[in-house]
Chain A
Amino acid sequence: MRGAVTLLRGDTQADRVVPPTGITARLTVFTAAAMAFLAVFALALSLAAGRLADRWGEELARSATLRISAPEGQMAEQTRAALRLLETTPGVAGARALAPEEQRALLEPWLGPDLPLDTLPVPQLIEIIETEEGYDAAGLRLRLAAEVPGAVLDDHTRWRRPLVQAADRLRLLGWVSIALIGAAVAAMITLAAQAALAANAQVIAVLRLVGARDVYIARAFVRRFTLRTLTGAAVGTAFGMIAVAALPGGGSGEDSFLTGLGFRGWHWLAPLLVPPLAAVVAFWATRAAAGRTLRALT
């Protein structure tokens, strides 16, 4: 902590010892800004994917659908039998048969608004809401097979799992992207620092000649690259947050993945970590590069 304060406070005399490096400084700031901008987007992607995975996982895991396909005369009887059976099934919080209007609404996106439901052999759907503990799907299927032969239980597992998996992978991809961006920043700073150290070999030789310790020489470079990266990353993060806020539908609900891409609530604080983290990466990258270079000198 003391080291960080000393680093930020700086030493104006020590700073003057290493000559300014013009284009390297501007490129470092620009690259840090670009990387921070990308990091903010990766963060938004990861957090949005995480929210979707959680939502899909929770909502779909708590519900199931019972589909009853029976001849016209037996549909009502099998529906009642199924509802009675569900009422006595442990782990089922509630069950209700969907009204014809609800079933029509479900089919409307595929078959159009004027659907003559009465004339079609549409199965009766029963929505099942689970308790926290959940029910025994295998046991319920066995009982249904015995008492309601036309019933098919769909506990959403088949299609819920790949969706949740996809969202989880997307979240992971976002974090991997952030890690890669961090590694790229470290690599970029290392290259820039090594170039700066090589360009200042004569300066370093003079400093060593007059009794400068490695830590003194390294600090001049470390401070410079850390502050440049911090500045660039702050600018890039600001632009990234503005861009995320300006995404279409970014401020509304999460009806779809695309309109839900962005930050919600406290997640808006997360991008603020990007500049200090970039500065930490730059600090260690420059320190390592300076250490290696200086150890190679007499």
Chain B
Amino acid sequence: MIELDGVGYSYGGGELLQDISLAITPGSFHFLTGPSGAGKTTFLKLCYGALQPSAGRLRIFETDVTAMSRDAIALARRRIGVVHQDCQFLDHLPVMENVALPLTVSGQGGGAAQQDLHELLNWVGLTERATALPPELSGGERQRAALARAVIMSPDVILADEPTGNVDWEMSERLLQLLVELNRLGKAVMVATHDLALIRAAKHHVQARVVRIAGGRLQAAGADL
């Protein structure tokens, strides 16, 4: 679904990523680790077309990203659910509308979608907070709302950037469970995190591959889980 072949990314004269090769296939589960500033977020941005590689070849859903129009990238993003570390909500809209945003922008906000929305809010435990505004949510609630928004279009791939960065351990486990459930439904999942405890906890639930970015390069991080 997403294939990187010798991908590099330069910015401001410096090479942030070099010679990255990885394939995100249906049903796969990846953990992406590495120190802060190593390029994990940049890697994820490349994967959903927010950045263009400066070297190598990147294919998203069988199409070379350099050949994709802005509209094509927008349409591809409907098949890629993204959970940002800072969640990125529209603060003037209630949680329910924020979660439904992918449906709204794709013109699918009809009656059936509303039913799915309520089920999804129930799944992430936010039914009671549906009408709250994002600034009123706790860190964990924001992350769950971001996850609900990422999956509402039933995407093929879920990319999560430090989804447990601002939450306690109990909530981290809860979010991990939600991601594992999605993976069991056949979704490809990639979680960028520096939380090794989370990676260790995951081994009880899912067969995941751990990769590490260091010095701008992707390395296998020991044995896969």
A residues adjacent to B (C-beta < 8 A): 13-14, 16-17, 19, 202-203, 205-216, 294-295, 298
A13-B109, A206-B88, A298-B51 are known contacts. Are A211 and B77 too (CB-CB below 8 A)?
yes
- Taking a contact as CB atoms under 8 Å apart, the answer to whether A17 and B88 are in contact is no
Would B153 and A211 count as touching, CB distance under 8 A? yes
Residues from chain B with a CB closer than 8 A to the CB of A211 are: 74-78, 102, 105-106, 153
Interface centre among A17, A19, A213, A214 (most CB of B within 10 A): A213
Minimum Cβ distance to chain B for residue A76 (Å): 91
Alpha-carbon gap, A294 to B70, bound state (A): 10
Q: Which of B48, B70, B78, B153 has the most CB of A within 10 A?
A: B70
Flag B85-127 by CB within 8 Å of A: 1 or 0 each. Answer: 0001110110001000110111001000000000000000000
Question: In the bound complex, do residue A212 and residue B90 qualify as a contact, i.e. CB atoms below 8 Å apart?
Answer: no
Among A203, A207, A210, A213, which residue has its beta carbon within 8 angstroms of that of B71? A213
Return B43 CB to nearest CB of chain A, in Å. 15
Residues of B within 8 A of A205 (CB): 88
Q: A residues within 8 A CB of B76?
A: 211
Known contacts A13-B109, A206-B89; A213 and B75 CB within 8 A of each other: yes
Of residues A16, A208, A211, A298, which shows the largest number of chain B Cβ atoms within 10 Å of its Cβ?
A211
B157 on the interface (CB 8 Å rule)?
no
Count, chain B residues at interface, CB 8 A: 27
Note all chain B residues with C-beta closer than 8 A to A294.
70
Q: How far is the CA of A170 from the CA of B93 in the complex (A)?
A: 54
Residue B212 at the chain A interface, CB threshold 8 Å: no
CB contact under 8 A between A212 and B105, given known A203-B90, A206-B88, A206-B90: yes
Indicate if B7 sits at the interface (CB-CB under 8 A).
no
Write 19 A-B pairs (CB below 8 A) sorted by A numbering: A14-B104, A16-B97, A203-B90, A206-B90, A209-B48, A209-B84, A211-B75, A211-B76, A211-B106, A212-B105, A213-B71, A213-B74, A213-B75, A214-B70, A214-B74, A215-B71, A216-B105, A298-B45, A298-B51
Query: How far is it, in angstroms, between the C-alpha of A214 and the C-alpha of B72 when the chains are bound?
Result: 11
CB atoms of B101 and A17 under 8 A apart: yes
Q: How far apart sit A213 and B70, CA to CA, in the bound complex (Å)?
A: 8
Considering the chains assembled together, what is the distance between the CA atoms of A207 and B102 in angstroms?
8
- Using a CB–CB cutoff of 8 Å, the interface residues on chain B facing chain A are 45, 48, 50-51, 70-71, 74-78, 82, 84, 88-90, 92-93, 97, 101-102, 104-106, 109, 149, 153
- Other 19 A-B pairs with CB < 8 A, given A17-B93, A205-B88, A211-B106: A13-B104, A17-B104, A19-B92, A206-B88, A208-B74, A208-B77, A209-B77, A210-B77, A210-B105, A211-B76, A211-B77, A211-B78, A211-B105, A211-B153, A213-B75, A213-B105, A214-B71, A215-B71, A294-B70
Q: Flag if B93 contacts A16 (CB, 8 Å).
A: yes
Nearest-CB residue, chain A, relative to B48? A209
A295 to B73, CA, bound (A): 13
Contacts of B75 in A (CB 8 A): 211, 213
Closest to B52 in A: A298
Bound-state Cα–Cα, A212 to B90, Å: 14
Q: State the CA gap A105–B102 with chains docked (Å).
A: 84
Q: When chains A and B are docked, how far (Å) is the Cα of A298 from the Cα of B65?
A: 13
Question: Which residue of B70, B92, B104 is within 8 Å of A295 (Cβ)?
Answer: B70
B78 to chain A, nearest CB (A): 4
Q: Which residue of A lies closest to B105 (CB)?
A: A212
For the complex, what is the distance from the CA of A14 to the CA of B48, rounded to whole Å? 23
> Does the CB pair A207–B105 fall under 8 Å?
yes
| Chain B residues whose CB sits within 8 angstroms of the CB of A216 once the complex forms | 105
Q: Output the residue of A202, A209, A210, A216 with the most chain B CB within 10 A.
A: A210
Residues of A within 8 A of B70 (CB): 213-214, 294-295
Give A202's nearest chain B residue, CB to CB: B88
Report chain A residues within 8 Å CB of B101: 17, 206-207, 210
List the B residue with the shortest CB-CB distance to A208: B74
A212 and B103 alpha carbons, distance in the complex (Å) = 10
A210 partner, pick from B45, B93, B102, B109, beta carbons under 8 A = B102
The chain A residue with its CB closest to the CB of B78 is A211
